[in-house]
Amino acid sequence: MVSYEEGKKLRQAYVEWIMPLDDWQWYCHFTFKDPVHPEQANKRFLRFTRDINRALFGRRYGENGQGVSWVRGQEWQKRDVIHFHVLYGGGVSVLRRLTYMDRWYEDNGIARIQPYDKDKGAVYYMVKYILKGGEIDLYIPKNGIQTTLLS
């Protein structure tokens, strides 16, 4: 267990590492209406992200190393259901946010998708889950980075 001061420094280090990885454009909150196993939640998130990639880059986006960047923090709600906090970059700002909120809702549950504002602390909020025993996953196609950050 780390002290408050150590935790604060660790969070800040993660923020400083994540912020410049892409031009973040959406800050999202994705909730599941029913309990979903973590593997199933991940599959649903990746399917949703694939739909975004296809809208932006076409069906063969992966063959050319294209795709949106994302950072995802996972939280367990009090009702024992997974909730994701997600940053998307890589061109999503040209897509209609409400369309994708509706798509998430149809298949999964409530979604909020907002334009990302670096001054509102979204990255700092997401990385706090590392210190709470959670995890943060990220994928940055232009840098070839795909990893899970654990506490």
Task: Print pLDDT tens along the chain (151 aa).
Answer: 678 888 888 889 889 989 998 899 999 999 999 999 999 999 999 999 999 999 999 998 887 778 999 999 998 888 989 999 999 999 999 999 999 999 999 999 999 999 999 999 999 888 887 777 778 898 988 755 565 554 4
Q: Give the per-residue pLDDT at 134.
A: 72
Confidence (pLDDT) at 60: 86
**In 3-state terms, what secondary structure has residue 50?**
helix
Tell me which residue range forms the domain holding 141: 4-150
Domains in the chain, number: 1
Give residue 21's region: left, alpha or beta (phi > 0; psi -120 to 50): alpha
Cβ atoms < 10 Å from Cβ of 28: 23
Q: For residue 114, how many other CB atoms are within 10 A of its CB?
A: 13
